[in-house]
């Protein structure tokens, strides 16, 4: 039994680490990490300031393009990030171990004679091997604690490199700050450019206002302008680069500090740079795209329903349209359109057009034709590129009004007729209308004695027997004796005939005949009038008979003369 127990290996007893030594080594580690990371941070600041300053100076000297500045910024950021990882984060993420720290203290204080490093290593989990005495290790640790009790381990960290790095960073920062302040607004501009701003490089002559990027229609005139500050030159240069050629134009001063140049009838896209003294701008780009134009216009006139004429095709050269019609238009454009309208010339207003969503090049509109004022129309378009049509053609429109019916009184044939108070006045008339006649009436005024301009107008409606003809011939027997009370002698009746058409859109149109007079007289006066008219008639018959007799005599003489020959 004893032999078996002697053969079993004895497990070594572990000596716990010294709390005193561990605390002092932890303080040393913190200081070591702080000094290393601080030195790295100072180095990062110094390098970042130097790279930024060098880049700003290089940009001021060479006027670097945006791509070159972007590459330089990426390179600088890469260097700074590398230094942050290497010099700042690495010491923090990978601090020195206790063995390395103990060795640092041993080198600084020889009285430890390897006691400190031995105390650290022997108190680790596998520090004591089988057969070694733990008591000796405890005695060693106790002795080491007595030596280290009065010694601050963090004093062995050298800070000279940190001070030098911090001093260098401070000097570079101070020099950079003074230089930045001395540069004024130029420094701000260079700093903006260092971070990829489009701000121009500061010069003695600073270009602060430029037309910039443009999108124009093909064939347009483009005015490029710039505003300069600082040293104002008398003139400048405009350099235009297109795929086919490079051109240079002088820039003339319009006013102090303001320069412009108009490029006429541009056909291709181009980039441009403005040079004023030592300052330059850009490059900026002018994109030239075609404006939308009309390819075809199909017109159809829809007559008002009352005409019963339906719809007819119309050419652009024959837009004589009846008032009240509707003009249907189908327009085809050269480009896809997002919005369009019909501008009505004379009315000074616009009607929106409908865009075919399946084919945005196709447009349609319905234009009501008013009774007057409309003289033409034009098509205004805005394509999907945001380009508006320009100098749209104006298509002439002639509005034909619906004529009122033409009316004339066929009987009595005299403008003034004498009647008695019991008479029946026969009124015959005829009317002609382009479409349909819907109403006919006799209007009249009664005047007694002197003419009364404000006499009331009265009306007699005529029955059309349910007909709506284009040509109307009627005879109306107007019984004067039906007036209640009877008309007195000396009363004057002013009468005329009115006819109304079926125009329910811009009308109705009303036509009126000439005004005629019927005067109420006594029976004796009427009888005398009839006798006079009969005498006139007989006299005219006698004149005709005398003329006929004379003609016969002349004819007989002519016959005898030919017979004698």
Higher pLDDT, 103 or 565: 103
What's the pLDDT tens digit per position in 12-38?
A: 556 677 777 777 777 778 888 888 888
Q: What is the pLDDT of residue 14?
A: 66
Task: Give per-residue burial for 230-264: e unless 16+ CB within 10 Å, then b.
Answer: beebeebbbbbebeeeeeeeebebeeebebbbebe
What's the pLDDT tens digit per position in 99-117?
A: 777 777 777 777 777 777 7
**Mean pLDDT, rounded, for 209-216:** 88
Q: Is 288 helix (H, G, I), strand (E, B) or coil?
A: strand
Residue 333's pLDDT band, with cuts at 50, 70 and 90, is very high
**Mean pLDDT, rounded, for 370-381:** 92
Q: Highest mean pLDDT range out of 274-278, 438-442, 530-534, 539-543?
A: 438-442
What's the pLDDT tens digit per position in 59-76?
A: 888 878 888 989 999 999
Q: Is the pLDDT of residue 1 over 50?
A: no
> Of 289, 308, 336, which residue is a domain's last?
289
- Pair (303, 279) in one structural domain: no
Q: Which strands form 294-302's sheet, in the order they lie side by side?
A: 311-314, 294-302, 326-333, 362-368, 354-355
Domain carrying residue 509: 406-521
- Pair (136, 268) in one structural domain: no
Q: Which of 67, 148, 171 is nearest to 101 (CA)?
A: 148
Average pLDDT of the residues of the chain:
84
Q: What are phi and psi of 259, to 5 degrees?
A: -130, 145
- Pair (40, 125) in one structural domain: yes
Higher pLDDT, 536 or 404: 404
CB 54 within 8 Å of CB 179 = no
Residue reference for tokens 């057969």: 131
What's the pLDDT tens digit per position in 463-522?
A: 888 888 989 998 999 998 888 888 888 889 999 999 999 998 888 899 999 999 999 888
Q: Is the pLDDT of residue 9 over 50?
A: no
Residue 530's pLDDT band, with cuts at 50, 70 and 90, is confident
- Pair (34, 144) in one structural domain: yes
CB 351 within 8 Å of CB 344 = yes
Q: Is residue 556 part of a domain?
A: no
- Pair (131, 63) in one structural domain: yes
Q: Is the pLDDT of residue 368 over 50?
A: yes
Q: Where are the alpha helices (DSSP H) in 63-184?
A: 66-83, 90-93, 98-108, 115-122, 134-148, 160-183
- Pair (150, 75) in one structural domain: yes
Residue reference for tokens 């057009």: 353
Span of 39-48, 219-228, 381-390, 549-558 with lowest mean pLDDT:
549-558
Reading the block at residue 176, the tokens are: 């950079």
User: Looking at residue 327, which CATH number applies to its domain?
Assistant: 2.60.40.10
Residue 6's pLDDT band, with cuts at 50, 70 and 90, is very low
> How many other C-beta atoms are found inside a 10 Å radius of the C-beta of residue 73?
17
- Pair (347, 455) in one structural domain: no
Q: Is residue 198 part of a domain?
A: no
Q: What are phi and psi of 210, to 5 degrees?
A: -130, 150
* Rounded Cα–Cα distance for residues 26 and 152 (Å): 11
Q: Which of 193, 188, 206, 183 is nearest to 281 (CA)?
A: 206
> Of 400, 430, 464, which residue is a domain's last?
400
- Pair (423, 503) in one structural domain: yes
Q: Is residue 195 part of a domain?
A: no
Q: Is residue 561 part of a domain?
A: no
Q: Is residue 311 part of a domain?
A: yes
How open is the CA angle 511-513-517, to the nearest 5 degrees? 145
Query: How many structural domains comprise the chain?
Result: 4
Q: Is the pLDDT of residue 535 over 90?
A: no
Higher pLDDT, 101 or 399: 399
In 315-402, DSSP assigns E strands to 320-322, 326-333, 337-345, 349-352, 354-355, 362-368, 376-383, 395-396, 398-400
- Residues in the chain, how many? 565
Q: What is the pLDDT of residue 345?
A: 93
Q: Is the pLDDT of residue 557 over 70?
A: no
Span of 158-167, 184-193, 352-361, 553-562 with lowest mean pLDDT:
553-562
How open is the CA angle 279-280-285, to the nearest 5 degrees? 165
Q: What is the pLDDT of residue 234?
A: 86
Q: What is the pLDDT of residue 36?
A: 87
Q: Is residue 545 part of a domain?
A: no
CB 488 within 8 Å of CB 449 = no
Q: What is the pLDDT of residue 4?
A: 38
**Mean pLDDT, rounded, for 121-143:** 67
Residue 540's pLDDT band, with cuts at 50, 70 and 90, is low
**Mean pLDDT, rounded, for 2-15:** 48
Q: What is the pLDDT of residue 5?
A: 38
% the chain with pLDDT above 90: 35
Q: Is the pLDDT of residue 382 over 60?
A: yes
Residue 546's pLDDT band, with cuts at 50, 70 and 90, is low
> Of 262, 289, 316, which residue is a domain's last?
289
The contacts of residue 86 (CB under 8 Å, 6+ apart) are 40
User: Looking at residue 458, which CATH number applies to its domain?
Assistant: 2.60.40.740
CB 292 within 8 Å of CB 381 = yes
Residue 356's pLDDT band, with cuts at 50, 70 and 90, is very high
CB 341 within 8 Å of CB 380 = yes
Q: Is 461 helix (H, G, I), strand (E, B) or coil?
A: strand
- Pair (126, 240) in one structural domain: no
Q: Which of 336, 344, 348 is nearest to 381 (CA)?
A: 336
Q: Which strands form 471-479's sheet, in the order they lie side by side?
A: 406-411, 424-432, 471-479
Would you say the pTM of this structure is higher than 0.85?
A: no
Q: What is the pLDDT of residue 122?
A: 63
- Pair (285, 301) in one structural domain: no
Q: Is 275 helix (H, G, I), strand (E, B) or coil?
A: strand
**Mean pLDDT, rounded, for 276-293:** 88
Q: Is the pLDDT of residue 314 over 70?
A: yes
Span of 111-120, 356-365, 380-389 with lowest mean pLDDT:
111-120
* Rounded Cα–Cα distance for residues 340 and 333 (Å): 10
Q: Is residue 170 part of a domain?
A: yes
Q: Which of 267, 271, 270, 272 is nearest to 290 (CA)?
A: 267
- Pair (282, 299) in one structural domain: no
Q: Is the pLDDT of residue 3 over 60?
A: no
Q: Is residue 13 part of a domain?
A: no
Q: Is the pLDDT of residue 145 over 50?
A: yes
CB 453 within 8 Å of CB 325 = no
- Pair (125, 40) in one structural domain: yes
* Rounded Cα–Cα distance for residues 486 and 31 (Å): 136
* Rounded Cα–Cα distance for residues 17 and 389 (Å): 89
């Amino acid at each position: 039994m004893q032999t078996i127990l002697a053969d079993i290996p004895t497990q070594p007893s572990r000596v716990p680490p010294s709390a005193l030594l561990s605390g002092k080594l932890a303080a040393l580690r913190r200081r070591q990490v702080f000094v290393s990371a601080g030195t790295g941070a100072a180095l990062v600041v110094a390098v970042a300031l130097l790279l930024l300053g060098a880049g700003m100076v290089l940009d001021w000297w060479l006027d670097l393009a945006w791509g070159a500045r972007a590459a330089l910024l990426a390179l600088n950021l890469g260097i700074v990030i590398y230094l942050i990882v290497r010099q700042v984060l690495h010491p923090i993420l990978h601090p020195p171990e206790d063995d390395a720290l103990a060795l640092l203290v041993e080198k600084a204080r020889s009285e430890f004679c390897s006691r400190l490093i031995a105390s650290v290593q022997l108190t680790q989990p596998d520090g004591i091997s089988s057969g070694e005495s733990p008591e000796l290790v405890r005695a060693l640790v106790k002795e080491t604690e007595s030596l280290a009790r009065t010694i601050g381990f963090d004093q062995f960290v050298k800070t000279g490199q940190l001070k030098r790095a911090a001093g260098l960073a401070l000097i570079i920062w101070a020099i950079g700050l003074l230089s930045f302040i001395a540069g004024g607004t130029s420094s701000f501009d260079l700093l903006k450019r260092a971070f990829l701003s489009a701000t121009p490089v500061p010069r003695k002559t600073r270009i602060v206002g430029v037309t910039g990027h443009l999108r124009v229609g093909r064939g347009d005139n483009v005015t490029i302008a710039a505003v300069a500050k600082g040293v104002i030159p008398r003139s400048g240069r405009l350099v235009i680069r297109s795929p086919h050629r490079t051109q240079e134009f002088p820039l003339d001063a319009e006013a102090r500090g303001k320069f412009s140049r108009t490029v006429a009838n541009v056909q291709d896209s181009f980039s441009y740079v403005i040079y004023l003294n030592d300052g330059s701008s850009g490059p900026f780009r002018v994109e030239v795209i075609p404006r939308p134009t009309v390819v075809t216009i199909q017109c159809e006139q829809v007559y008002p329903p009352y005409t019963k004429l339906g719809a007819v095709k119309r050419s652009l050269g024959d837009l004589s349209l009846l008032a009240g019609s509707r003009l249907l238009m189908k327009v085809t454009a050269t480009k896809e359109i997002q919005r369009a309208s019909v501008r009505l010339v004379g009315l000074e207003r616009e009607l929106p057009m409908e865009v075919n969503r399946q084919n945005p090049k196709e447009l349609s509109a319905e234009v009501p034709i008013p009774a007057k004022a409309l003289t033409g129309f034009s098509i205004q378009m805005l394509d999907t590129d945001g380009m508006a049509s320009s100098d749209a053609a104006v298509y002439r429109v002639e509005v034909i009004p619906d004529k009122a019916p033409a009316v004339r009184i066929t009987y009595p044939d005299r403008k003034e007729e004498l009647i008695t108070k019991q008479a029946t006045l026969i009124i015959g008339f005829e009317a002609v209308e382009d479409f349909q006649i819907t109403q006919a009436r006799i209007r009249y005024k009664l005047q007694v004695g002197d003419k009364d301009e404000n006499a009331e107008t009265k009306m007699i409606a005529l029955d059309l027997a349910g007909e709506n003809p284009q040509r109307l011939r009627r005879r109306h027997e107007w019984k004067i004796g039906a007036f209640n009370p009877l008309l007195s002698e000396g009363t004057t009746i002013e009468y005329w005939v009115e006819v109304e058409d079926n125009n329910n859109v811009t009308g109705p149109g009303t036509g009126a005949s000439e005004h005629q007079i019927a005067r109420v007289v006594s029976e004796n006066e009427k009888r005398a009038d009839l006798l006079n008219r009969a005498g006139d008639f007989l006299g005219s018959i006698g004149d005709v008979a005398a003329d006929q007799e004379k003609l016969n005599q002349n004819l007989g003489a002519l016959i005898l003369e030919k017979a004698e020959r």
